[in-house]
Amino acid sequence: MIEVGVILKAQGIKGGLKIKPLTDDPARFKRLKNVFVDGKIYPVTEYSFRDGHVFLSLDGVSDRNAAEALKDQYVYAADSDAVKPKKGSYFIRDLVGCQVFSIGPDGREALLGEVESVGQYGAADVFFVKGGQNLMFPFLKRLGAAVDIGAKKITVDAQVLSEVVVFED
C-alpha cells in the first residue's frame, strides 16, 4: 500500500471528499479504481483537481455525515494501482533504511549511517541519518547523489555535503 493523500474535510452534501495529495504526482489519482481508507476498500466513482487538492467521490460514502466520519484519515492505493516513480524520484519508503556514504575527492567512501526518515519541507526533501553522529541534509541535485534502491545504498559528494549538513548535538 502507498499513502497517497489525507482527507481534509467533507465536500458538499453528497459525500464528496477534499484530499491533500501526499504525492509528487497528483495525476496518480486519475488511475485509481479503488482506494483504501481506515482499512476499508472504496471504489472511486468521481475525481477532480482544484487548487492543489484532489476531490473524490467514493462508492459507499453517499452523504456528508459519512464523509465527515473519514476526516483526517489517510488514503492509500494498492502498489499495483500506483505508477512507478519517474527516473531520479523514489518512494520515501524505499529510501528509509538505505546506508548513506560520502565520497571524497580521492574516491574513498565513508559510511555516514542509515536513512531513518525523510522530511518533506518544500524546496528539498531532508534526509535524517542515524549513525555514529546523527545528521540531516537537504537532498539537493548538487550533492551528485547516486541512489541504488536494490543495494539500499545512497552515495553523496563529501565536499558538497560538508556545505549543507547539520549535525545533531
Query: Got the DSSP string for 18-30?
Result: EEEE-SS-GGGGG
| CATH 2.30.30.240 in the chain, residue ranges | 92-167
- Whether the predicted pLDDT of 79 surpasses 70: no
- Whether the predicted pLDDT of 42 surpasses 80: yes
Distance CA 95, CA 99 (A): 9
Separation of CA 42 from chain center: 22
Mean per-residue pLDDT for 114-133? 91
Looking at the DSSP bridge assignments, the partners of residue 76 are: 3, 36
- Whether the predicted pLDDT of 56 surpasses 90: yes
pLDDT band with cut points at 50, 70 and 90 for residue 102: very high
Mean per-residue pLDDT for 143-169? 93
CB 168, CB 152: distance < 8 Å: no
Q: Which fold has domain 92-167?
A: SH3 type barrels. (2.30.30)
The mean predicted confidence, pLDDT, of the chain is 91
Q: Which three cell numbers stand for residue 81?
A: 494501482
pLDDT at 83: 61
Distance CA 16, CA 29 (A): 15
pLDDT at 31: 84
pLDDT band with cut points at 50, 70 and 90 for residue 152: very high
- Whether the predicted pLDDT of 11 surpasses 80: yes
pTM exceeds 0.85 for this model = no
| CATH 2.40.30.60 in the chain, residue ranges | 2-81
Does the domain at 2-81 match CATH 2.40.30.60? Answer given as yes
The backbone region for 107, taken as left when phi is positive above 0, alpha when psi lies in -120 to 50, beta otherwise, is: left
**Which residues in 12-124 belong to E strands, given as ranges?**
16-21, 34-37, 40-50, 53-58, 74-77, 99-103, 109-120
